[in-house]
Structure 1
Amino acid sequence: MVRGMVLTANLPQLQNLIKRDSDAYREEFLQQWAHYNSLREIFHINPDDKGQKFRELLTFIAQVSPCYPNDTRDFPQHLSALLLDHFTLLSPDLRLSIVQNLVMLRNKDVLSSIDLLKTLFPLLARARAAPLRALIRSTILSDLKTANAKTKNVRLNKAVQAMLFAMLERSMDSQVVGDKGKAKADAGPDGNSGGEALWAVLLTKELWKTGVWNDNKSVAIVALGCMHPNVKVQSASMHFFLGESDDKDDDESGDEGPDIKKLQHQRVIKKKTRSGDRKLDRAVKASKKKRKDKANATTANFPALQLINDPQTFGEKLYDKLQRHDKLYSLDHKILHMQLLSRVMGAHKLCVLGFYTYIVRYLTYHQLSVTLILVSLAQSVHDLTPPDALQPVLRKLAHEFVHPGVGPEVIAAGINAIREVCRRQPWAMEEDLLADLVAYRKSRDKGVLTASRGLLALYREVNPDLLKRRERGKDASMGVGAEKRALPYGHAPKATERIEGLELLEEHLKQLRAEEGSGAEDEDEEGDWKDWDVEDDSSSSDESSAGWIDVESDGEDIMVTDSEDEGEKPPPPPKEDKPEPGPSTLMTTKILTPADYAKIAELRAQDPSSTTTSAAASKKRKKGPLVASNDDDGFVSESEILGPRKKAKADYEERMASIAKGREGRERFGSLKGKKNKDTPSSSTNREKARNKPVMMILSSGAVKGKKKASLRDKQRKLRAHIDRAKKAYH
């Protein structure tokens, strides 16, 4: 009895003893287990926080539960139900303690990973305390990283992705509020029921960034987030495809860094120490690096863009949402929509013609962030864009940006934007408009001159017939470089020669033959068309439209020829071209079924070499030809639109930095004159300074005037003294 009372009052001691010998202390554990069940029943009757004792009891049972698995098999479910059903009634300390105990049970393999994540995902949007939210987030990410460390855990990944899809879809039908004016100010912490959906997008982005997930399902989650009614969810999703960080939405991913101005002020008012100087230097370097990385983070996430399912529908939905809610969105958010839509259109060569009608209204030189709008316009154009849709856009650009009533920077930006559009679709330019733009090559401003010459050089290469004869240049006049000229609209440079991923299918079929024996492919040929046949939409019931009809020949052979003359012999069969070395043999030996194409897509998604090669090729920036090639990624930067500009006048910070740089290696005060070439450093004397003074400075001095007024005796005395000094110096 005494031992039980002592152990009841000291749970850490009992925990230590149970872990050493669980069978000997089973009775004491059952007493604590009964005490826990009674407290739990009381909690269900009267939901209220049970204080410190209840938290200690929960931690004790979680620690020793692996020693008594049969008795505590329902304990994890108890903790999950306590969190999910009574989350608002629990104190912050108790919530954090329960989550920590669940994580500990997962580490001890008492709780499965899926069961833990099913409990943690609903808590993300409900948790307000930063420590609890950070614990849940880190637990989810670390658990998925550990599960996919050695090999992909397909079962767990599918379950988690299904949870994330559900988190997004639960709030897809909510009302669009927007981020403009009063709606932006009145947005709550969750922002129109978007807290759960925002966490789904942020977690998917983090898992993609760390390389845990790289499949099309994770891209589909973020693509669904782009269509969410909540603007914060949209913004976080769009920044993922644009390859940029969204610090405003992702406040859990990192901080803004130290406040440099605050640290500099502290160095002024506090005691000067070397450690403080080093700390300030490190902070300044870190801040500069972060700004540089943010400035260079302009490369789109091309692997994710290529994995978008049905990009045409995705682009049309993006444009529909942009146009429908134009008055609800702020300008920054609309530009974000334009950037993503243009990237998708350029990457997949989509034709969303309404986008050009929409963007025309923003093509004015006084429009805020007009350079980003011009970048979006240029990126959306490709060789399959109809020239008729672009001609009104080019005329609007020329009318708004290229005329004498605006500054040279505006003219240069307009011509550069027109050049970037025409580089991708040269047939959008009109002859009279081109003549007006090329005439600016004689401008005195360097930016305008460079932009006009760039447009002239482009059309000398791709379509010199639009230029006047004297502007075509020698090469175009002589017919040199005709192979580089732009093809007519809709023409491809060469026919398709191979099917991407066909070699992967061939290797797959070879492995099947080796495993199942020869003939396995022929037996399953008919099954490959199963469930892929398309029913006839014709409403006619005629026998002629129902299919093929067998016709009997009455014993005579019927010869069918294409020749109009019955007496002519049928033409000989064409000679078979020998396959070039390299293409797969399946191109000439097998008719690919829809199931084969589906298998090719699956094999390409699983093959890391093809994904890496395509991603590397898409990220590579081509510098060679002026005209856009089929493999060009279509990326445009703001510097290409603005063109070369004069060096702007330095601001106060830059001038002070230049002054500080010039003072490096110098003493704080005083001149270095007379101190460089002397053994004993000293300054010059007053006599030396007087001897080297300019004449105009001493003409009005008292000494010069005194010489003119001196008597004859004074002059003789000075002359004698000079002669004596000269004699002494000579001897």
Structure 2
Amino acid sequence: PSCGVHTPEFLKMELPTECGGRAASTPQSLPLLQNSLKRDPPAYFGEFQLQFERLRGLLAVMEQQPQRPVKDLRQLLMFLAHTSPCYSPKVSETPLKTREKKDMTQNDRSGDSPGAFLPLSTSFAFDEDVEKKGVEDRHYSAELAASIQRILTQLSSSLHPQTRQSLLLSLLLLRRKQQLSCLDLLRVSVQLLQANDKSCRQTLFSFVTRDVSKLCLADRMQQSFARLSPELFAMLARPACPLAARLALCCLIQVYRQQRHSGGLSIHQNSKNFKKIVNAAAACTLAGDTKLATSAALFLLGELQSASSHIANVEDNESDDEEDAAVEAEAKRLTRSQEGVSKKTASAKKKLKRAKAKLQRQVARKQQRAEQQQLLGGVVASASIIDLLFDPQGLAEKLFGRVKGQSDRFSSRLIFLNLLSRLIGHHKLLLFNFYPFIQKYLQPHQRLVSSLLAILATAVHELVPPQELLPIVKHIADVFINETRGEEVITVGINA
């Protein structure tokens, strides 16, 4: 009989005997509790507190043996990440002084309306005295995020992969629900990227890059970039963690790309920020990490899409190897299918012929894209980017010293040579040692010799003395244009 006391529907379900009389402790019942809690948060606040305390116990057990997976931890983390925002205010991304002015203005207009905001950073640990505070003073999402950040920062390398992935996904969910600041997420990412966990690195790269670019696009880089740029530039200056530097450069490239794409007033307002991004990328071209340096060089060449996709691949050459393996596997499959068919009908032959032709077109398109990327793509975008360099002559000299070191692969050196020639031609630089150096690569059998000739032509301008170019012109005439060469080689030499 009804006594006027509200009984939640969640407590009316049959309780399993092994639950100890409380269904909320079973993973199967958490989705039901989550659904009911979102509909009526005040009625289920007691159940939420029980699950919150239960998580604290599981995390304490996990910290004692971090290398072992904890049962039901993933379900409980996701449940609390979904439901804790019902009892917590959102994290404001605006600075504290600006936020106080807005709150005072709103209070003057609307009376005594409390402005419940958290500071920009939510990094504080669980406190023993938190339980003594009133419910209205507790920020459960901030406590949950702080606990996850502390564990991921201190135990990132020793955690079990499943535990690490569960903690990361719940933290990203809190960020998506605006219960964690982007600055705190960047700081945690530096520690997580040092762990040997490929899936976590890929998840962080995709989420953090999208989050930073979205945040900067919302206010046209006026306030968000000023708060995030010190942390991003600090990540670029950490040679001990190249993955963190790659993540920072990927974020900067995406921010620049989106702001440039929006155009208009955004470009005029962010000229100083664009200069910071371009010169930070220029410094990265001299980094010891080859992937970081080549991605920065592609960015300066105007290949924004290629630069972001190149650096977003966490493993070196992973995407190229996967594509080559897929093409090879498809070719073997077609060969086996042709050998296994005993009765070759006309339709089967046509189908096999079309499949082989499609595979050949895919391979040809891939090679064409690679050559176009390494040739002279993005000339217009490159001009607008390298105009923002503070010291193009110094960058060209240091970059030429790197290329002469022969420590990088030929494909990487080709990108650096392309950037070097673009700097020389656009800024009318004088780097006389560049022409004898590239002369030794100009041979008919050299791979991508047409690209090298185009790079040489880009580096020639009216301030270069003719006597500096005369030896290389004689070399091209002697090597490419003679009666022992084929028509294609002679044509290349004449066009050069």
Q: TM-score of the superposition, structure 2-length normalised?
A: 0.67
Residue number among 367, 372, 394 corresponding to 1:313 in the alignment:
394
Aligned residue in 2 for 1:109: 178
Question: In structure 2, what is the equivalent of residue 348 of structure 1?
Answer: 427
More divergent stretch after superposition (270-279 vs 118-127): 270-279
Q: What is the CA–CA distance in structure 2 between the aligned matches of 1:409 and 1:5, rounded to whole Å?
A: 82
How far off is 1:118 after superposition?
Answer: 3.0
RMSD over aligned CA atoms reads 3.8
**Take 2:295 and 2:223, find their aligned partners in 1: how far apart are those partners?**
27
| Counterparts of 2:53 and 2:454, CA distance in 1 | 69
Q: Which residue of 2 aligns with 1:197?
A: 245
Deviation for aligned residue 1:270: 7.0
**3-state DSSP class of the match of 1:216?**
helix
- Aligned mate of 1:375, from 451, 454, 462: 454
> Equivalent of 2:48, from 26, 29, 36?
29
Q: Which runs of 5+ in 2 are unaligned?
A: 1-10, 89-137, 262-266, 268-273, 342-346
Pair 1:240-2:240 in alignment: no
CA displacement 1:369-420 (0-9 Å, x = unmatched): 5443333222101112233432343344445555667666555544x3xxxx
Instruction: Give 1:62's aligned amino acid.
Output: A
Deviation, 1:36, is: 2.3
Deviations 1:28-85 (A, max 9, x none): 3323322322333344455443512222222222122112222513211111222222
Counterpart AA for 1:223: A
- The Cα of 1:7 is off from its aligned counterpart by 2.6
- State the distance in 1 between where 2:227 and 2:359 align: 43
Name the SS of the counterpart of 1:233 in structure 2: helix
Aligned residue identity for 1:87:
S
Residues 1:226 and 2:322 are matched in the alignment = no
Alignment of 1:712-727 (within 5 A): none
Q: Take 1:276 and 1:162, find their aligned partners in 2: how far apart are those partners?
A: 57
Q: Which amino acid aligns with 2:244?
A: E
Task: Quote the residue 2:30 is aligned against.
Answer: 11
Instruction: Show the counterpart of 1:268.
Output: 338
Report the equivalent of 1:93. Answer: 162
Q: Secondary structure at the match of 1:382?
A: coil
Kept in 1, the 8 Å contact 2:74–2:163? The answer is yes
Q: Deviations over 1:683-713 (max 9, x none)?
A: xxxxxxxxxxxxxxxxxxxxxxxxxxxxxxx
- Asked whether the equivalents of residues 164 and 221 of structure 1 are also in contact (C-alpha less than 8 Å), the reply is no
2:469 is aligned with 1:390: yes
**Which of residues 374, 378, 386 in structure 2 aligns to 1:301?**
378
8 Å contact kept, 1:319–1:341: yes
Structure 1 residues 89 and 223: alpha-carbon distance in aligned structure 2, compared to 1, 3 A threshold: same
Map 1:676-691 to 2 at 5 A. Answer: none
| Alpha-carbon distance in 2 for matches of 1:275, 1:142 | 42
The one-letter code sitting in structure 2 at the alignment partner of 1:195 is: L
Conservation of the 8 A alpha-carbon contact between 1:161 and 1:218: no
Query: Are the counterparts in 2 of residues 49 and 89 from structure 1 also a CA contact under 8 Å?
Result: no
Equivalent position of 2:231 in the other structure: 163
Distance 1:331 1:278 in 2: 35
**Aligned equivalents of 2:331 and 2:435: distance in 1?**
45
| Percent of aligned pairs with the same amino acid | 27
- Shift, 1:269, TM fit: 5.6
Tell me if the contact between 1:4 and 1:28 (Cα under 8 Å) persists in the aligned partners. Answer: no
Would you say the 8 A contact 1:242–1:340 is kept in 2?
yes
Return the letter of the residue paired with 1:256: E
| Aligned partner letter, 2:427 | H
Q: 1:318 is aligned with what amino acid?
A: L
Name which of 128, 131, 150 aligns with 1:81: 150
Q: If each structure's helix is expressed as a fraction of its own residues, which one has the higher value?
A: 2
CA separation in 1, counterparts of 2:246 and 2:290? 10
Shift of 1:159: 4.0
Q: Secondary structure at the match of 2:157?
A: coil
Measure the CA separation in 2 of the matches of 1:388 and 1:336.
27
Matched, 1:55 2:62: no
Shift in Å, 1:161: 3.9
Alpha-carbon separation, structure 2, partners of 1:266 and 1:208: 49
* Whole-angstrom distance in 2 between the partners of 1:301 and 1:117: 31
The residue identity in structure 1 corresponding to 2:334 is: Q
Checking the alignment, whether the CA contact within 8 Å between 1:243 and 1:299 is kept in structure 2 is no
Query: Match of 1:11, as an amino acid?
Result: L
In the superposition, the TM-score normalised over structure 1's length comes to 0.47
CA distance in 1, matches of 2:260, 2:216: 7
Task: Give the secondary-structure state (helix, strand or coil) at the position aligned to 2:377.
Answer: coil
Partner of 2:132: none
**Which one-letter code corresponds to 1:345 in the other structure?**
I
Asked if structure 2 preserves the Cα contact closer than 8 Å seen for 1:58 and 1:98, the reply is: yes
Residue pair 1:263, 1:280 contacting (<8 A) in 2 also: no
Q: Structure 1 pair 381/199, CA: closer, same or farther in 2 (3 Å)?
A: same
Query: Is the 8 Å Cα contact of residues 417 and 455 (structure 2) preserved in structure 1?
Result: yes
Query: Which structure 1 residue ranges, 5 or more long, are not aligned?
Result: 175-192, 417-639, 642-731
Tell me, what secondary structure is at the counterpart of 2:151?
helix
Alignment partners' CA distance in 2, 1:95 and 1:237 = 31
Contact preservation (8 Å) 2:444, 2:479 = yes
SS class of match (2:149): helix
Work out the CA distance in 2 between the residues paired with 1:71 and 1:36.
Answer: 16
Matched, 1:322 2:403: yes
Provide closer, same or farther for how the CA distance between residues 250 and 71 of structure 1 changes in structure 2, counting only shifts above 3 A: closer
Over residues 493-512 of structure 1, what are the superposed CA-to-partner deviations in whole Å (9 max), with x where a residue is unaligned?
Answer: xxxxxxxxxxxxxxxxxxxx
Could you list the per-position Cα deviations for residues 437-491 of structure 1 after superposition, in whole angstroms to 9, with x for gaps in the alignment?
A: xxxxxxxxxxxxxxxxxxxxxxxxxxxxxxxxxxxxxxxxxxxxxxxxxxxxxxx
Mapped partners of 2:279, 2:294: distance in 1? 16
Q: Is the counterpart of residue 38 in structure 1 residue 38 in structure 2?
A: no
Deviation at 1:287, TM superposition (A): 5.2
Higher gyration radius (CA):
1
Q: 1:594-650 deviations in whole A, cap 9, x for unaligned?
A: xxxxxxxxxxxxxxxxxxxxxxxxxxxxxxxxxxxxxxxxxxxxxx43xxxxxxxxx
Describe the SS at the equivalent of 2:43. Answer: coil
Counterpart position of 1:216: 275
